[in-house]
Structure 1
Amino acid sequence: MDNDTTQLALSGAVVGGVVPFLVGIVIVGALIWAVWWGRRIRSQEPGPPRPDEQPRLPDSGPVGEVRERREPAEMPRGNHRLTSHRLRGHGNSSTRRAANQKPPTWNENGGGGPGRT
């Protein structure tokens, strides 16, 4: 019997069966440790708010949706480049409420396709 071939076959069986088993044990141990660590951290966090700590409606009742049309902001004219903070009506200054509050309607005779009126 050839001893070299027997030893190689044995080492192949060890690598093919024992090493993956040990790697699996290490992975399972890491997962168990992660769950233990997560439960430990979660136990230190405050609990959910009590019912008396929950948000309540204002005394005036629920806040409704407000829809209104605004006048477009004028584009400033000048020789310098405009940056976002120089544009009006984008958070740094308010626009005026439009006199006509009726929303625009579609053209009844239009086909509805893009670019058609």
Structure 2
Amino acid sequence: MTTASTQLAAASGLMSLVLFVVAVGVLALLAGGFWMNSRVKYRESDRPRADEQPGLPVDGPVGEVQENRESAEVPQVPKGGRPLTPYELTNMDSRPSASKDRPRWSRGSSGSFGGGGLGSH
């Protein structure tokens, strides 16, 4: 056996020892994580029983409501006035629409901005 092969064998032995120590460290971290998780779960309150669950309202289940909504108009800026910033525009509320007709997309339109599809046929 030459001196070079002896040095190579010693270096690989040291490398395998380092990898073993790193693997043991990772396993210790995982085990510690499971241990801490079990301690946290043990301190949590119990799950509610079936009789503690919320029930239906007295009037019965709430039905589905279908209505058309109209959004509020964006305020117009007077001529020569400065434009409004997004912070000056409030949360634009909507209100029930007087019309009972459901809005339909125009023929050949996909109905969404940038949908890229062929649209209704």
Do both proteins adopt the same fold according to a TM-score greater than 0.5, normalized to the shorter chain?
Answer: yes
Is 1:22 the counterpart of 2:21? The answer is yes
Cα distance change on mapping 1:102 and 1:42 into 2, 3 Å: same
Cα distance change on mapping 1:61 and 1:87 into 2, 3 Å: farther
Structure with greater proportional helix content: 1
Structure with greater proportional strand content: 2
Which 5+ residue runs of structure 2 have no aligned equivalent?
Answer: 110-117
Which 5+ residue runs of structure 1 have no aligned equivalent?
Answer: none
With 71-80 and 14-23 compared, the bigger mean Cα shift is at 71-80
Greater Rg, structure 1 or structure 2? 1
Tell me the distance in 2 between the aligned counterparts of 1:60 and 1:83.
46
One-letter amino acid of the structure 1 residue matched with residue 92 of structure 2: H
* Identity percentage of aligned residues: 33
RMSD: 3.2
2:65 corresponds to: 66
The TM-score normalised by the length of structure 2 is 0.66
Deviation at 1:74, TM superposition (A): 3.0
One-letter amino acid of the structure 2 residue matched with residue 42 of structure 1: K
Q: When the two structures are aligned, how many residues end up with a matched partner?
A: 110
* Contact 1:74-1:88 within 8 A present in 2 as well: no
One-letter amino acid of the structure 2 residue matched with residue 44 of structure 1: R
